[in-house]
Amino acid sequence: MIQETHFNVFILALLVAIPAWAIAVDEPFTVTLMTRAVIFAIAAVGLNIALGLGGLVSLGHAAFFGIGGYAMGILAFHQQTYAPIFEWPFVIEGTKSMPVIWLVAVVASSLAALVIGLLSLRTSGVYFIMITLAFGQMFFFYCIGWSAYGGEDGLSIYVRNGFPGLNTLDPIQFYAICFSILALVLWIVSALAKSSFGLALNAARQVPHRVETAGLNTKRIQLAAFVISGAITGLAGALFADLNRFVSPAMFSWQLSGEIIVFVVIGGVGRLFGPVVGALVFVALEHILGGLSEFWHIYLGLLLLLIVLFSHGGLIGMVCGRKAVHD
Amino acid sequence: MTFILVIEQILNGLQFGIMLFLMAAGLTLIFGVMGLINLAHGSLYMVGAFAAAAVAGLTGSFGLSLIAALAASALAGVIVETVVIRRLYNKDHLDQVLATFALILIFSEGTRWVFGSFPLFLEIPEYLSGPVSLPGGIQYPLYRLALIFAGLLVAAGLMLLIAKTRIGIQIRAGENDREMIAALGVDINKLYTLIFALGAALAGLAGALVGAIQSVQMGMGEPVLILAFVVIVIGGIGSIKGALIGSILVGLTDTLGSVFLPQLFGLFMDTAAATNIGSSLASMAIYILMGVVLIWRPTGLFGARG
Amino acid sequence: MNKQIQALTAVMLAATAFGFGTVQAETKVGMITTLSGGGAGLGIDVRDGFMLAIKQSGRDDVEVVIEDDQRKPDIAVQLADKMIQSEKVDVLTGIIWSNLAMAVIPSTTAQGKFYLSPNAGPSALAGKGCHPNYFNVAWQNDNLHEAAGAYANSAGYKNSFILAPNYPAGKDALTGYKRFFKGELAGELYTKLGQNDYAAEIAQIRASGADSVFFFLPAGMGIAFLKQYKDSGVDIPVVGPAFSFDQGILQAVGDAALGVVNTSQWNKDIDNATNKAFVESFQAEYDRLPSLYASQGFDTANLLLSAIDKADVKDADAFRAALKSADFASTRGEFKFGNNHHPVQTIYAREVVKEGDVYTNKLLSVALENHADAYAVECGM
């Protein structure tokens, strides 16, 4: 068995080496694919806080992903059409600056997570799964009919948003931005897991009554985790929108919520790099199997089943053995 | 808006709800007894509809196609239960969500592989087609009345099964205390397979009945599945009575919402905008209903356990 | 600043493409279409029609790369990136749905590639957003609905009940119908996208006192509506665009569609030699009747081939002019582009009939002659 920290370093090295190789042999599309994987990884790292650390199975994380996406779409759309978002009581203009968009995406998805979390955390177990799914569906149907921002057609942003000092249209530079954010997010999550907040969250999942008797409010801890989780997934949504230069209600679909869960579980629930490995493997499979057969979803389904039924702790669990984080 | 139209829309909502009940009943039983959350229930609905369409195409008989739907979906249920689902009972909800999500992928594309990419044909039998006149001058499709009747019959049968029969006693015992029935010497594996097959058959029946007035195509199960989840969450997971009441509530909310919300907004804005906002809101109405119920009663209307 | 960078990238891409082109004088076509999931039937028809034309041309200097977008916009965008960055295609085509088209076409044309649309024609790309490198070989989205409105006038309808799903294409549909229909509206409804039960809407139609119903409900929604409409016993005549009456789904609707008038720019009995040969060879090749989507795929390929005959795809200006001249034999008979590179064409009313065991359409009358779309005037080309 390989030590998990060694394996994590190996994955980080891959994330640097593959795009570098792709640039060397002039395969820019591989960089685009890697960017997609890294963005999905950020979304899944976000979900993993709720899912892995908090034990909150959210089938509605696409809501935050979509909100992040629409934050980018709406801001850039107004900048593109030179029409301010608000003119009263004060003027708010659109923007094409990535840092501003990210800030808006994080704030908007945190607020949404706060409201959804406040309501959903009144329930638990299957009820929690279902109510998060229902919130996701509400956003989905709202955006389909939201004609001001394209409804089901979505919004096309013709030029990728800018980041000071970088050419974001260059695939490798945009990849570098996404990779840095992933690294930052992973660092935050690992610090969070070791902090007293992380320990309390872990305890709230495993022995809630003891946490309560220790004078802590489990619901409040879980709510905080849910908000952080939603904020990170929202940031990933903004990046995803910039990758595609396009947003649409498909970002809110419940299948996408399912896929984000898939990333986490393939890699290993509750493991720091689980979501990263899961997203990498998923994007690779999508690309390879999708090229082999029209019916590739069948193979994907079979593979998922095998992982759920026979592996403990996802792919990282298979490589590195079991560890106390999950069980 | 005439009184007759209101009655007619209430009937429509009722019929929609009763069909949802056939889906929700199986889901809620499976969850109540085995503690399993089954996303692939919609796939069994689709299997029923496709089996019915295939048999109707060969024989031209509606009766035979319903039997085929029941048989095929029950069989699919037994196979899925023994091969996959059985291994999930002791796993957490997350693994169940994921494994049954995988089953959806396999079922959907598998169906397309067997039946092709175009929708299939399934129609109402001659003796049930066309409208009938109800008291008060309402013209209402006979087939939809038959659906309401058939659904209520199944609901009554299920309640009897659970209240009066030996299996029903085992089901109720299982809902209360899973270890207990094993200790009583009941063959748990057999009981679980039976319940899963029963739920699957109900879903397949719903698929075939509804398929005759909708389109039989791949992916038809997932929208219904999500509605059925909303139903059992509102009704309280594990409760057949809750599923029935939840179904009717959801059916009425959805139908009446899509009819009356645009008209309500039409009272104080122009028609195009009212239609627009009204129908957007109508498509979210049942999720709002669900949110409200859960905030009021976090375990649903008839949910016993937290 | 961004614009400069973008132009630079486009030049660089064009340069690499040019480098390849001199080595092998070949045209590479990328087809992104829906081959799996719910709407796969349409993509398969477009692909089969397109590939039939390529096969019949007997050329070996045209390479077609086909990919499945699963009807997901983000996948379509990713495939377009792949086609342009890795496969280095010259021309993209194949997208079925407007929302996917909006995601892919603007950035494709901005990178100097050509896009030929075999199906979707969103209004945003027909008016101010038109582009010299974007050609639509099917129709602008409103066209068939406008024709339905015109047909309703000629049929003497005075009071229509109209409905469509609550999404942009649905709103375009009702706008298109209203643009040409001169009568009153008995009611106007937006239904939920993906809705499968229309009992509530049918009850409203029955109570509305309308003398005609116009609906745009693509794919499964239309099948469900027609079956339920027939069973309800409401006998107000129905008009719709061809999308709910194409060869692929008519068999699933059955008797409920018989006699319904729908509008289309193509039908299998349009009387010209190209069309006859197309219908025969399509049946021989794939063992089914072609749909309008198949005819659009076939026409798209033939337009492309005609342009390749006249000009090298690497010479963008010459190739664009060759496409614009539309010098090919269309299954629709005469075919020409308007200033915004969308077809100016005749749209027919046709009626659903049964031939033996097969449900199909026959031509009834001309609904709109040499019809251009309403957005062409906004296009600066």
For residue C264, give every residue at least 6 positions away whose Cβ sits within 8 Å of its Cβ, in sequence order, or none: C144, C241, C242, C245, C292, C347, C348, C350, C361
Mean pLDDT score, B50-77: 94
The answer to whether C361 touches C353, Cβ cutoff 8 Å, is yes
**Do C148 and C111 reside in the same domain of the chain?**
no
pLDDT category, B99, cuts 50, 70, 90?
very high
Task: Point out the residue among B143, B217, B280 whose CB comes nearest to the CB of C38.
Answer: B217
The answer to whether residue B89 neighbours chain A at the CB level (below 8 Å) is no
**pLDDT attached to residue B31:** 87
Neighboring chain A residues of B300 at a CB cutoff of 8 Å: 127
Residue A73 lies in a domain: yes
Residue B306 lies in a domain: no
Domain count, chain A: 1
Neighboring chain C residues of A251 at a CB cutoff of 8 Å: 74
A278-298: per-residue pLDDT in tens?
Answer: 999 999 988 888 777 778 888
Neighboring chain C residues of B255 at a CB cutoff of 8 Å: 199-200
**pLDDT attached to residue B91:** 85
Domain count, chain B: 1
Neighboring chain B residues of A146 at a CB cutoff of 8 Å: 280
The SS3 of residue C339 is coil
**Do C31 and C123 reside in the same domain of the chain?**
yes
Cβ within 8 Å, pair C224-B213: yes
Residue B5 lies in a domain: no
Task: Point out the residue among A36, A156, A295 whose CB comes nearest to the CB of C36.
Answer: A295
**What number of C-beta contacts closer than 8 Å exist between A and B?**
125
Task: Point out the residue among A145, A159, A240 whose CB comes nearest to the CB of C166.
Answer: A145
**Do C175 and C246 reside in the same domain of the chain?**
yes
Neighboring chain B residues of C248 at a CB cutoff of 8 Å: 118
The DSSP symbol for A50 reads I
**pLDDT attached to residue B209:** 95
Query: Would you call C271 exposed, middle or buried from its count of C-beta atoms within 10 A (0-12, 13-18, 19+)?
Result: exposed
The answer to whether residue C154 neighbours chain B at the CB level (below 8 Å) is no
Task: Point out the residue among A134, A297, A305 whose CB comes nearest to the CB of B290.
Answer: A134
**Do C32 and C42 reside in the same domain of the chain?**
yes
**pLDDT attached to residue B143:** 93
Distance CA C37, CA A193 (A): 40
Residue A84 lies in a domain: yes
**Count of C-beta atoms within a 10 Å radius of residue B58:** 11
**pLDDT attached to residue A1:** 67
Q: Is the predicted pLDDT of residue A117 greater than 90, yes or no?
A: yes
Q: Which residue has the tokens 């000009």?
A: C311
Cβ within 8 Å, pair C73-A144: no
**pLDDT attached to residue B1:** 54
Share of chain B above pLDDT 90, in %: 44
ipTM: 0.83
- Identify which has the larger pLDDT, B273 or B19: B19
Cβ within 8 Å, pair A258-B99: no
The residue count for chain C: 381
**Do C131 and C161 reside in the same domain of the chain?**
no
Whole-number average pLDDT of chain B: 88
Mean pLDDT score, B120-127: 88
Mean pLDDT score, B152-167: 90
- Chain C nearest CA to B142, separation (Å): 9
Domain count, chain C: 2
Distance CA B274, CA B266 (A): 5
- The bridge status of strand C358-371 relative to strand C343-355 is antiparallel
Neighboring chain A residues of C67 at a CB cutoff of 8 Å: 290
Give the residue numbers spanning the domain of C229: 143-269+347-378
- CB contacts under 8 A, B 150-169 vs A, are none
Nearest CA in chain C to B54: C252
**pLDDT attached to residue A314:** 81
For residue A288, give every residue at least 6 positions away whose Cβ sits within 8 Å of its Cβ, in sequence order, or none: none
Token representation of residue C222: 């239309």
**What number of C-beta contacts closer than 8 Å exist between B and C?**
125
- Identify which has the larger pLDDT, A313 or B285: B285
**Do C29 and C132 reside in the same domain of the chain?**
yes
- Alpha carbon distances (Å) from C231 to B48, B130, C241: 22, 5, 21
Residue B7 lies in a domain: no
**Do C159 and C226 reside in the same domain of the chain?**
yes
Cβ within 8 Å, pair B105-A129: no
pTM over 0.95? The answer is: no
**Do C170 and C229 reside in the same domain of the chain?**
yes
The DSSP symbol for A161 reads P
**pLDDT attached to residue A327:** 39
**pLDDT attached to residue C263:** 96
- Chain B nearest CA to A196, separation (Å): 26
Give the residue numbers spanning the domain of A239: 39-250
B191-218: per-residue pLDDT in tens?
Answer: 899 999 999 999 999 999 999 988 888 8
**pLDDT attached to residue B263:** 83
Distance CA C317, CA B193 (A): 68
CATH of the domain at C355: 3.40.50.2300
**pLDDT attached to residue C25:** 52
**Do C23 and C84 reside in the same domain of the chain?**
yes
For residue A309, give every residue at least 6 positions away whose Cβ sits within 8 Å of its Cβ, in sequence order, or none: B84, B87, B88, B99
**pLDDT attached to residue C36:** 77
**pLDDT attached to residue B24:** 94
**Do C223 and C157 reside in the same domain of the chain?**
yes
**Count of C-beta atoms within a 10 Å radius of residue A91:** 9
Residue A94 lies in a domain: yes
Neighboring chain C residues of A144 at a CB cutoff of 8 Å: 166-167, 193
Residue B187 lies in a domain: yes
Please list the residues that pair with B86 across neighbouring strands.
none
Cβ within 8 Å, pair A152-C168: yes
**pLDDT attached to residue C1:** 40
The answer to whether residue B213 neighbours chain C at the CB level (below 8 Å) is yes
Residue B250 lies in a domain: yes
- Alpha carbon distances (Å) from C366 to C241, C270, C337: 14, 11, 19
Neighboring chain A residues of C78 at a CB cutoff of 8 Å: 32-33, 36, 244
- The residue among C8, C85, C95, C174 with the most chain A CBs within 10 A of its CB, best to mutate, is C85
pLDDT category, A323, cuts 50, 70, 90?
low
Residue B260 lies in a domain: yes
Low-confidence ranges of chain C (pLDDT < 70): 1-25, 38
Cβ within 8 Å, pair B117-C41: yes
**Do C56 and C190 reside in the same domain of the chain?**
no
Cβ within 8 Å, pair B117-C40: yes
CATH of the domain at B279: 1.10.3470
Cβ within 8 Å, pair B105-A51: no
**pLDDT attached to residue C24:** 47
| Strand residue runs (E) in B64-186 | 131-134, 138-141
The SS3 of residue C363 is strand
Cβ within 8 Å, pair C188-B275: yes
**Do C366 and C332 reside in the same domain of the chain?**
no
Distance CA A321, CA A77 (A): 48
- Chain A nearest CA to B224, separation (Å): 13
- Chain A nearest CA to C15, separation (Å): 14
Give the residue numbers spanning the domain of B232: 14-132+139-296
Cβ within 8 Å, pair B104-A301: yes
- The residue among B6, B279, B281 with the most chain C CBs within 10 A of its CB, best to mutate, is B279
Residue B305 lies in a domain: no
Residue C248, φ and ψ in degrees, nearest 5: -65, -40
Closest CA to A40 of A257, A305, A191, A194: A257
Q: Is the predicted pLDDT of residue A224 greater than 60, yes or no?
A: yes
Nearest CA in chain B to A314: B95
- Chain B nearest CA to A44, separation (Å): 14
Distance CA B180, CA B182 (A): 5
Q: Is the predicted pLDDT of residue A86 greater than 80, yes or no?
A: no
Cβ within 8 Å, pair C189-B275: yes
